[in-house]
Amino acid sequence: MFNFGQWTSAFNNWLLGLGMADWLAVLIECVIIAVLVLLTYTVLALFYILYERKLCAWFQCRLGPMRVGKWGLLQVFADMFKILIKELISLRGTDRFLFKLAPYIIITSSVVMLACLPWGNGLQIIDWNIGIFFILAVSSVGVLGILLAGWSSNNKYTLIGAMRSGAQMVSYELSLGLALMTIVVLCGSMDISTIVAEQESAWFLFRGHIPAIIAFIIYVIAATAETNRGPFDLPEAEHELTAGYHTEYSGIHFGFFYLAEYLNLFIVSGIASLMFLGGWMPLHVPGWDGFNMVMNYIPGPVWFLAKAFFISFVIIWFKWTFPRVRIDQMLAFEWKYLMPFALANLIFMAVFVALGWHF
């Protein structure tokens, strides 16, 4: 089994064996890891852009982008090149430092969260015993970037979009966190690797009884709102706010917002895969030894990606099915219904665990 920690240690020892200084070996190792993370980040974001375009076209009985490359597969690369060569426009009356800082805050937050996701046994960059708590803390930093982007642009539409996004993300983080804490109570650990390892015999969505199913539904709804996806895309409502908090951005700065939005979709889907669907663990059915043996031949990263893409499909399906809600309806739904249900469900899970009613 591939273990990222063992691989990096072996590579570091190889560099030291060449007579290289300790600090230089660590620096080279960190640079290589950073390049791999950024490359993965970019490839995933580009894939998700094409993924949503094709799914949207499928839902609407059309073909989607078909001009650049076979079946339009190179369209996203053409769009990326176009964004890279566009001019970075500086506006009057803006806080230039905060205006330029905001997209880097958002992109850094999503990159750090991506580094916390294990794609397989040992295949992750950051592995702490408080992994879920750390991811929730880092995800909150992204709100700061959005607020800075909206305020520093000196535009009433961007400010309204930023305030909407701040209210929405702060509100739905509560339900999202409570849904994740429900699984933490079931597992008894906040370490992501431990949570996945506990699902070797059966995934928590099936083992956790009714509270786990309710937590999964609450998480998917809250994650949709947390990533500003439809029908909760009010911070970017085109018919009201042009493009929301990133209206005044151009070139690569706009590209950062664009990539972060799609990468956050993968991150919330990956977390759902790890917490509820066993992450890299294969599907096992008790008593079906032959079936279970065949499932074991499928690599762990394939299982993780397949589950994450499935959750992303559901979230994208939401966007192209339901109409956009009003801001008051969105906040009322969270504070009056979703958050109380999530809190009550957490209590139910604690009772189920204490009485041993879970599978």
Domain boundaries, the chain: 1-85, 86-355
Q: For 115-135, what is the mean pLDDT?
A: 83
Per-residue pLDDT of 146-180, as tens digits, reads 888 888 888 888 888 888 888 888 889 999 999 99
What single letter denotes the amino acid at residue 271? I
> Does the pLDDT of residue 1 top 50, yes or no?
no
> Is the separation of the CB atoms in 212 and 353 below 8 Å?
no
CA distance 185 to 194: 13
Per-residue pLDDT of 20-41, as tens digits, reads 677 677 777 778 877 888 888 8
CA distance 193 to 352: 23
Most confident by average pLDDT, 83-87, 214-218, 242-246, 284-288? 214-218
Specify the length of the chain in residues.
359
> Angle at the Cα of 41 (from 32 to 89), degrees rounded to 5?
105
* pLDDT value for 5: 55
Mean pLDDT of the chain: 84
Could you tell me the pTM of the whole model? Answer: 0.88
CB burial class (10 A; 0-12, 13-18, 19+) of residue 355?
Answer: exposed
> Is the separation of the CB atoms in 318 and 229 below 8 Å?
yes
Would you call 210 helix, strand, or coil by DSSP?
helix
Q: Which residue has the tokens 């290289």?
A: 20
CA distance 288 to 290: 6
* pLDDT value for 310: 94
